[in-house]
Amino acid sequence: MARLLIVDDERDIRHLYAAELEDEGYEVDSAGSGAEAAEKLNHQHFDLVVLDIQMKGESGLQLLQKIVKERTDLPVILCTAFSCYKEDFSSWLADGYVVKSSDLSELKREIDRVLKKKQS
């Protein structure tokens, strides 16, 4: 069973994602900040990170750079309200990119795609 880490500073978003993704059969943990996420990544195993960009404190893009640098095998999907982040070149490092929506099916599809790609 794949373990996912949800990183978002909005508590309700974390809860929503966790509930929905657990329904899909994933094991889900979450972090409310970049620092908390880094801490968890250091001590636990995850198969994929779903990462918000705009967060208080360390931004999602900063965390993304760290992850790509230290954990090259860990895929990251950026999930954000800002579609224009697509134009920030550091966001191009992510394996996937989803614009936040109340309909989580796109996020679910993207997670499935990235995990399958990683396995192959």
Q: How many angstroms separate the CA atoms of 41 and 31, rounded?
A: 10
| Span between the terminal Cα atoms of the chain, in Å | 16
Beta carbon of residue 2, minimum distance to another protein (angstroms, whole number): 20
Minimal distance, residue 21 CB to another protein, in Å = 11
Helix (H, G, I), strand (E, B) or coil at 96: strand
89 is an interface residue for another protein by CB under 8 A: yes
Among 1, 56, 87, 116, binds another protein (CB under 8 A): 87
Q: To the nearest whole angstrom, how small is the minimum distance from the Cβ of residue 60 to another protein?
A: 13
Site for another protein in 13-72 (CB under 8 A): 13, 16, 19-20, 23, 54, 65, 68-69, 72
Name the residue nearer to another protein (CB basis): 94 or 115: 94
Cβ atoms within 10 Å, residue 67: 23
Pair type for strands 48-51 and 76-80: parallel
CA atoms within 13 A on the CB side of 81: 7
Decide whether 38 or 68 has the Cβ nearer to another protein: 68
How many beta carbons lie within 10 A of that of residue 13, not counting itself? Answer: 17
* Interface contacts to another protein, rule CB under 8 A: 10, 12-13, 16, 19-20, 23, 54, 65, 68-69, 72, 81-84, 86-87, 89-90, 92-93, 97, 99-104
